[in-house]
Chain A
């Protein structure tokens, strides 16, 4: 493995297997772990920060820690979701349970940090552990005469969307939040289809819980990471082969440049974009020209928030949770 000139930990992606060099450096689990050193090596670089999505690099950190963050985000960071549905009237064709299940999966804007967990199942709902909504809708014939045979023109309210969910403020909630801050994030989620005569009259109660309880409480669509790829060309690839090589990787990974001799040669422009498709191994002649690897302590972390909390906040929450858990453990150990 002399292709790489530094001493970074790498996983080499062979044609049929991955060869990992196991972590030898000090980790949090070792006696030799030195926080100062870790601080020096560790870095976070935010690469992309969009509305619901964040992509950032975690450099110089052990996979177990990164994974812990990922796991915490998925199943421990709480959020609000509809948990109880009181059905007063449901004459639609959709069954009560299925309707309740669908409603539960609607992401809510409410910030779970402002609410408390419910500890007692049977206790009454209070204004700081729950939100109450209402879905009252009735389908009727459209009075305006038109010759259309399209259901949308013939009937009124034939589709029930998440925008039809109305918030019922409880106690002093009205002072604290605005409807837009607690209701469904997206207003075009189809809940049910109706026909004239069908009616829905529901009371919905949203509570705070975490993803372990039910996937609807997970604050993210998904959170995951990947290792930073590194691609090395071991020999010059030129001409038609260079073009083929370029096609084997995600766009932007391989560039084709002209060298002094005027030949088209392939160079690695930015390995970061490679998604490990390993399609080079299809070509016998290119197999030996590249070494695909991944740097084992450089993580590209992506969080796709559902929308209640911005994705960076979710990560911070996860870090906070880990800290809390650690403190909890230490406390347990001491007693």
Chain B
């Protein structure tokens, strides 16, 4: 770069100036200010807001007219569309505002009506109607149309909503659903890469109407254009001619190739095919068109020539607008593509990187929903049209009124179905995606928050390519380097970093005007020669060429100035690419960007005073943006900037300064104290485990009725905090407890990361947890006037008391809160009419037969009834929810983990008196084996312990923030101050022998998380039990009280050992032994000592065999295959 050289000469001059760059104290405080307006979940909300307030209007506007072929006068015109506030239909067309919590409890959808204003014809009249309901839109929580937006904590509490809940998800049929962020290659951009034949340049064009892919590639020294519209690859020169560039010289000038020899074979092709005119070229293209599957009868049949021209204008490179068949713009674009291919052939550096984050776009809930809505809306209109076409020709008494046919359930069900299943089927793009939505995991607050920042890649999980999975340098600061799952989705599922913002679309028009005013020359006014002149840069806006510029630096400088002064949107990015000799301006949605402090002349613009203003609340983050102190950079522009991590790194060339280094991690990784001291996979493991830790879910957790909910009885905020923990309120909704840990070996029950736990600690409430489960029952009404009913408990006639099964039932047949339920007791004594489908006969419904379908409790451990809810759901059917509760104390086999990816199960519970104790009489809650450290290299845990200990003595929280936090020297000094060993190692006495231990024990508090995996839910054994009906073999799985399988490998062992009787016993006797009669004469199976084919019982003998074998034989027989058995005595 030329600029740097000149800067170097200034360096000596500026050195003393730079010395004055002091650290801006507390500049991290910009992070909470940022999080108030942007980041984390806000991007979901922003994108959804954009959709329901702006985009939906555009969509309706684009499809605003419905006409009909049957009546040329008939039309429907949408004049406006609104999305209202969420409500619930109470019947009789009365609707009532609803709260998200009500929807959660009553299994309803939190959705708002979409209403339109229309203008249409009824007969010869023109009618206009306003506020017509066309469907219901599921509303994202905390979006502009959600009743939770802009509410105070008190108001939220009144609505049973947790003020710390981030929102950003939907409630569909009572389930919380998140539309995951989808990552994909950006649309409308050229990507040059190597393919099967060689270098190719690919563009995926995407407009509202069309989606198509165009290739330019080299094959055998010639250049071709590929598109799925054409059967064959087409020589690029023909395409140019079809676009009206007839002269070969002009083509060459446009492409701007220096070495003509490379291009002559391509040009020659035109001449061999004798294509010299545009018409000839189009005719040639017309002959190569893919035959249409259906010919639309309505449209006039065009000549292939016409059709080719149409398709060339609309489908090839669809995103480049062509007006009145002026192909110049498209031709220049195509020439540019070709140029990129030729350049890449000469220079491999010119190849693009698919995995580079500048080439990626993240699709958020709003854009996904808008695709879906547009599709459904088009279908809705199409249906109206077809109804009109069918009905209008008929002569009727009443006039045809379309409004009667506008039914709201099509749009409603489509949207609800898409969100609840996650199947995103968009017919017009032939797009079919699964797993777009997921159920919001409410295991812990972190798991819910972590899910909101998750980024799903469109890449196939099964493919074994490392590129898309590996950490990309351009991911820096945008996506968390630690937080990714292990296993098949590794590297494909990612999480946003703390300060990432995803852009929403910005209007292009002002940008084009600004560009034109700063020296951008229209492409139509210049020759191809000028296009490829030395200092001329091509200017792209969102993938379209808008012109050429001679002085690109001036253009970029102006754009940045305008952006910093707020004249254009702060999310517009502009950067040059010197290799392509292009200037790219982007204003499209889905780009990753992140704020930086602007540095000018070696000085950051943000000063201490600004931060003080921020602290006092005079300034907000917007003010920083508005004053041009801070700006957003997207990945591409980041690469054109010189960013310093710390103030001390600032040189004269520096353009930006990092706000806070810890923000390069995400939400989950932010919990780890001292992550920069850990081996990196350990942080990744913690990111996965933090989501399984139980603790608190939200302030409204006691009002929720989830299917499964884990709570800690006494959750604690961690002793060693981090800035992230405070920013995301983990200290208010913690998941874990500070345990005093001694790092030593104890007994033999601590091998393989097992933990020793102090029984007294458990007695006092350590690791105690609550497990809530729910039981649900729906009371339906049937078409034949019958309905489900609930009856009171069955009374034993002898004792006059309810039978044991109904012991806990209230008089209404539902359990009462507070009762303890045991296995197989009845929770709801429901019965269902036997005949529900048949229409009611002549007889009255007095003699309806009922069948008992009780809701039973199934668990070996008893539970308590926390509460019972009786309500109705959306379909007006009765809904009963029962919340069951268990309190569990830790036991051997329960899983615990520290925040450093160090998980372990409880190996032994030890009495307090057997625990070692130190000079102060402190005995540990947990003993951890020191072998956990050398191979894991989790130094962060060691420092956490030390800092925690010092924090206890000092009475304050220490910070373990990434790339910062309390220093070990300071912490040691604090320990010395309080008379403790500076290394954190204490003198211990054995609790068993009473003598002192030979080694000093590293001990102190470490934050431990209790993970959801508990033995009680997993332990399983069986001697006898249920069998599968078909095979008579034992059932499979714990839930069905299944057997423990002696698998193939175990079987092989027994075979190898020669234990044949054991094998017979395991595989047959204890499994599906069965006695069958076999006829010795015909070899077929008989029964009751009788062979049915020989009609005799002479030679029938009884043998035992597995039932599965007998089943096979009979099944074969049913297929007309006889398997004959030949029996011999085993002594022979």
Contact = CB atoms under 8 A, between A and B. Distances in A.
Q: Is the interface of B mostly helix, strand, loop or mixed?
A: loop
A37 to B, nearest CB: 21
Contacts of B981: 276-279
B913 interface: yes
A126 interface: no
A127 interface: no
Q: Which of A63, A64, A275, A282 has the most CB of B within 10 A?
A: A275
A226 interface: yes
Contacts of B997: 18
Contacts of B763: 214-216
Contacts of A13: 987
B979 interface: yes
Interface string B849-882: 0000000000000001010000000000000000
A21 B986 CA distance: 20
B996 interface: yes
Contacts of A161: none
A268 to B, nearest CB: 16
B483 to A, nearest CB: 33
Contacts of B159: none
A71 interface: yes
Contacts of A17: 998-1000
B707 interface: no
Nearest to A273: B979
Interface string A75-115: 10000000000010010010111100100010000000000
A191 interface: no
B430 interface: no
A57 interface: no
Interface in B957-980: 976, 979-980
A159 interface: no
Interface stretch (B169-177, B917-925, B1060-1068): B917-925
B885 A18 contact: no
Given A212-B911, A279-B981, A95 B770 contact: yes
B993 A67 contact: yes
A226 B989 contact: yes
A298 interface: no
A226 B89 CA distance: 73
B818 A98 contact: no
A64 B993 contact: yes
B864 A96 contact: yes
Nearest to B764: A215
Contacts of A71: 913, 991
A56 interface: no
A215 B760 contact: yes
A95 B912 CA distance: 27
A105 B768 CA distance: 14
A70 B923 CA distance: 13
Nearest to A212: B911
A226 B995 contact: no
B311 to A, nearest CB: 68
A213 to B, nearest CB: 9
A101 B765 contact: yes
B509 to A, nearest CB: 52
Interface in B781-839: 818
Given A97-B887, A101-B765, A215-B764, A18 B998 contact: yes
B994 A63 contact: yes
Contact of A98 (B887, B998, B1000): B887
A11 B980 CA distance: 19
Interface string B715-741: 000000000000000000000000000
Interface string A1-42: 000000000010100111110000000000000000000000
A84 B885 CA distance: 20
Given A63-B993, A279-B981, A95 B919 contact: no
A96 B997 CA distance: 43
A67 B994 contact: yes
B1054 to A, nearest CB: 45
Interface in A55-79: 63-64, 66-68, 70-71, 74-75
A224 interface: yes
A74 B996 contact: no
Q: How many residues of A sit at the interface, in one of the four size bands?
A: 35 or more
A302 interface: yes
Nearest to A98: B713
B759 interface: yes
Q: How many residues of B sit at the interface, in one of the four size bands?
A: 35 or more
Contact of B980 (A16, A93, A224, A277): A277
Q: Which of A87, A222, A302 has the most CB of B within 10 A?
A: A222
Interface in B990-1044: 991-1000
Contact of A18 (B713, B760, B980, B999): B999
B208 interface: no
A275 B912 contact: no
A95 B887 contact: yes
B921 A302 contact: yes
Given A66-B994, A218-B760, A226 B982 contact: no
B616 to A, nearest CB: 25
B379 interface: no
Nearest to B761: A215
A284 to B, nearest CB: 14
A211 interface: yes
A6 to B, nearest CB: 20
Contacts of B885: 95
Interface string A203-227: 0000000011011101000111111
A66 B887 CA distance: 38
Contacts of B996: 11, 18, 20, 227, 294
A275 B1000 CA distance: 13
Contact of B976 (A75, A277, A302): A277
Q: Which of A66, A70, A105, A304 has the most CB of B within 10 A?
A: A70
A115 B493 CA distance: 64
A70 B760 contact: no
A315 B131 CA distance: 84
Contacts of A212: 911
A142 interface: no
Nearest to A64: B994
A279 B921 contact: no
A12 to B, nearest CB: 11
A71 to B, nearest CB: 4
A222 B921 contact: yes
A64 B713 CA distance: 38
A128 interface: no
A93 to B, nearest CB: 6
A250 interface: yes
A224 B979 contact: no
Contact of B912 (A66, A74, A282): A74
B702 interface: yes
A19 B1000 CA distance: 11
Contact of B818 (A20, A96, A250, A294): A96
Interface in A271-297: 275-279, 282, 294, 296
Contacts of B919: 226, 275-276
A95 B866 contact: yes
17 contacts: A16-B1000, A18-B996, A20-B998, A67-B991, A67-B992, A87-B818, A95-B770, A95-B866, A101-B765, A101-B768, A211-B912, A222-B923, A226-B989, A227-B996, A276-B919, A296-B995, A304-B921
Given A95-B887, A105-B764, 16 more contacts: A13-B987, A17-B999, A63-B994, A67-B993, A70-B994, A87-B818, A95-B770, A95-B866, A98-B770, A101-B768, A212-B911, A223-B921, A227-B996, A275-B920, A279-B976, A304-B921
Interface of B: 702, 713, 759-760, 763-765, 768, 770, 818, 864, 866, 885, 887, 911-913, 917, 919-921, 923, 976, 979-982, 986-987, 989, 991-1000
Interface of A: 11, 13, 16-20, 63-64, 66-68, 70-71, 74-75, 87, 90, 93, 95-98, 101, 105, 211-212, 214-216, 218, 222-227, 247-248, 250, 275-279, 282, 294, 296, 302, 304
